[in-house]
């Protein structure tokens, strides 16, 4: 899919490891979609303050914050185009999901006030990843936005956020949870008598260590949560279906170094295994040779002649040597990054125009003009892998 096609999706999921500029890339793509007349939301996980400053929204939180109309006019947005941003709040997202599936007000209050639940959203493995997917589902269902750009949590392993709904589903369907809810139904009457006798010793020990209040909290939480099991399981399956639908595309963001390239290849391998559509790659912060031309590689003889020419022209031998070394180092970095881009271009089943290289900028994005410049690099005509 050409980069222009990315802007036609309802959901664009930006994936990649931390430290590659994924959040800024997501914001730049959202800005470009808004400039083209779409009503766009960028859902981010942990935005740097400078990003909120660049958008002009003020500090980002769980509420949708719209970029001021005068800022959008500044970047030439078409009529009807708008850009909003918000930051994921894991606790709030879980609370809203519980409120959606709680059978009544009493059950809702029992769960929200339960100390086990209050600690669960932080302690549960994958809670941030799951809540990101849940919030995406909520927003997409509400239909307020033409396009949602999701900046996923930084992942050490490929697609941790995709595994999160599955982990929750497996937990909800597990024998352990069924045993906690209905031990007699799971192990049978005879087995339950044995289970109860063997567990009494453990429960007495836990009671001595933590007191009755701990056991009461667990009991109340499980009883209140039981009525919502079906809803949570259904929601997890719906989230996975959305990610696999034609309305959604995945964009891989990587950096130009050996470790990032290996991780990008693992991301692609997992996406392919899951039959999830990869629409493009952004190789960010790439060293390029000025003008985009082929990076020169001088022989020792030509290097010596070039240094001599600089010394004569500058009348400063030390300054000439420093300048030559700087240019040589830039050329070496440009050749290295070009090799990484070529490696990924060969490994990923993408057309050349869907692989975008973004030059390393002199400073981090801290104003809307910086986002616009980044977007222009990503969507420039004929600016595929260099």
- Torsional sign, CA 113, 89, 46, 3: positive
Rounded to whole angstroms, how far apart are CA atoms 122 and 135? 16
CATH of 3-111+126-161+236-292+338-379, one of 3.90.950.10, 3.30.70.920, 3.40.50.300, 3.30.2350.10: 3.40.50.300
Q: What is the pLDDT of residues 48-66, one digit of tens each?
A: 677 777 788 888 888 899 9
Higher pLDDT, 202 or 332: 332
Weakest-pLDDT range from 31-35, 123-127, 236-240, 349-353: 123-127
pLDDT at position 295 over 70: yes
pLDDT in tens, 26-47: 999 999 999 999 999 999 876 6
Q: Angle formed by the axes of helices 127-142 and 160-172, to 10°? A: 100
pLDDT tens-place string over residues 178-222:
555 554 444 444 444 544 455 555 555 545 544 445 555 655 666
Distances (CA, A) of 197 to 91, 213, 215, 335: 37, 22, 17, 70
Dist. CA 283–CA 281, nearest whole Å? 6
Q: Nearest-CA neighbor of 91 among 133, 121, 126, 125?
A: 121
Question: In Å, how far are 18, 90, 155, 170, 260 from 254, measured between CA atoms?
Answer: 9, 26, 12, 31, 6
> Could you report the per-residue pLDDT of 62-97, keeping only the tens digit for each?
889 999 988 898 888 888 899 999 988 877 887 887
- Residue 122, strand partner residues: none
Per DSSP, the residues of 235-280 read: HHHHHHHHHHSTTEEEEEEE-SSHHHHHHHHHHHHHHHHTT--EEE
DSSP H/E element including 68: none
pLDDT of residue 278: 92
Look at residue 53 and give its three-state secondary structure.
helix
Q: What three-state secondary structure class fits 86?
A: strand
Beta bridge partners of 283: 254, 357
pLDDT, the chain, mean: 78
Q: Are 26 and 43 in contact (CB under 8 A)?
A: no
Could you tell me the CA-to-CA distances from 88 to 80, 130, 148 in Å, in that order? 26, 11, 13
Share of the chain above pLDDT 70, in %: 73
- Identify whether the C-beta of residue 321 lies closer than 8 Å to the C-beta of residue 246: no
Q: Is the dihedral of CA 342, 346, 352, 354 positive or negative?
A: negative
Q: Is 371 helix (H, G, I), strand (E, B) or coil?
A: helix
State both tokens at 334.
Answer: 């440009």
Average pLDDT over residues 316-324: 84
pLDDT band at 107 (very low <50, low <70, confident <90, very high): confident
Q: What is the mean pLDDT of residues 106-110?
A: 83
Residue 370 above 60 pLDDT?
yes
Predicted pLDDT at 59: 83
Q: Which of 122-126, 304-308, 357-361 has the lowest mean pLDDT?
A: 122-126
- Between 90 and 243, whose confidence is greater? 243
Give the global pTM.
0.78
pLDDT at 333 over 50: yes
Query: Where does the pLDDT of residue 305 fall: very low under 50, low under 70, confident under 90, or very high at 90 and above?
Result: confident
What integer pLDDT is reported at residue 85 of this predicted model?
92
Residue 228 has pLDDT above 60, yes or no: yes
Whether 386 has a pLDDT exceeding 70, the answer reads no
Structure tokens at 43: 């859902």
Q: How confident is the model at residue 225 (pLDDT cuts 50, 70, 90)?
A: low
Domain-by-domain residue ranges, the chain?
3-111+126-161+236-292+338-379, 300-334
The pair of structure tokens assigned to 331 is: 């050329």
Q: Which two tokens stand for residue 353?
A: 């125009």
Per residue in 113-171, pLDDT (tens digit) is 877 676 665 555 456 666 777 788 888 888 999 999 998 876 655 566 666 666 666 66
Residue 383, pLDDT score: 55
- The answer to whether residues 264 and 252 touch, using CB atoms and an 8 Å cutoff, is yes
Confidence tier at 378 by pLDDT (50, 70, 90): very high
- In the prediction, which pLDDT does 304 show? 80
Say whether pLDDT at 276 is over 60: yes
Closest CA to 64 of 32, 36, 30, 33: 30
Q: What percent of the chain has pLDDT over 90?
A: 21
pLDDT interval class at 355 (50, 70, 90):
very high
Torsion, CA 141, CA 145, CA 147, CA 151, rounded to 10? -80
| Helix, strand, coil shares, percent, the chain, to 5 | 60, 10, 25
- The stretch 223-242 carries a mean pLDDT of 72
317-347 and 300-314 are packed helices; what angle lies between their axes, rounded to 10 degrees?
Answer: 140
| Among 144-148, 249-253, 301-305, 342-346, the least confident range | 301-305
- The H or E element spanning position 178 is helix 175-181
């Amino acid at each position: 899919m050409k980069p222009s096609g990315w802007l036609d999706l309802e959901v664009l999921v930006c994936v990649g490891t931390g430290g590659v500029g994924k959040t800024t890339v997501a914001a730049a793509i959202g800005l470009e979609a808004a400039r083209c007349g779409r009503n766009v939301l960028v859902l981010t996980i942990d935005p740097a303050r400078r990003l909120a400053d660049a958008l002009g929204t003020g500090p980002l939180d769980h509420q949708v914050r719209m970029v001021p109309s005068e800022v959008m006019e500044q970047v030439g947005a078409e009529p009807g185009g708008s850009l909003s941003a918000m930051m994921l709040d894991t606790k709030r997202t879980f609370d809203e999901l519980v409120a959606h599936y709680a059978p009544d007000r009493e059950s809702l209050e029992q769960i929200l006030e339960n100390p086990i639940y209050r600690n669960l959203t932080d302690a549960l493995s994958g809670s941030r990843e799951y809540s990101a997917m849940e919030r995406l589902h909520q927003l997409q269902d509400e239909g307020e936005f033409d396009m949602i750009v999701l900046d996923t949590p930084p992942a050490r392993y490929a697609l941790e956020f995709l595994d999160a709904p599955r982990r929750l589903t497996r937990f909800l369907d597990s024998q352990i949870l069924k045993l906690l809810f209905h031990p007699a139904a799971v192990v049978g009457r005879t087995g339950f008598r044995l289970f109860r006798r063997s567990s009494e010793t453990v429960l007495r020990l836990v009671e001595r260590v933590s007191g009755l209040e701990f056991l009461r909290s667990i009991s109340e939480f499980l009883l209140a949560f039981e009525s919502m099991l079906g809803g949570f399981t259904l929601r997890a399956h719906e989230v996975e279906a959305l990610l696999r639908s034609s309305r959604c595309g995945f964009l891989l963001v990587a950096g130009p170094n050996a470790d990032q390239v290996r991780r990008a290849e693992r991301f692609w391998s997992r996406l392919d295994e899951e039959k999830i559509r990869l629409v493009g790659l952004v190789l960010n912060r790439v060293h390029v040779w000025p003008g985009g031309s082929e990076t020169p590689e001088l022989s020792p003889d030509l290097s010596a002649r070039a240094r001599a020419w600089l010394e004569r022209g500058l009348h400063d031998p030390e300054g000439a040597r420093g300048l030559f070394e700087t240019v040589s180092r830039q050329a070496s970095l440009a050749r290295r990054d070009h090799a990484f881009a070529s490696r990924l271009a060969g490994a990923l089943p993408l057309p050349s125009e869907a692989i975008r290289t973004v030059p390393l900028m002199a400073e981090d994005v801290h104003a809307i003009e910086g986002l616009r410049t980044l977007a222009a690099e990503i969507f420039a005509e004929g600016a595929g892998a260099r």
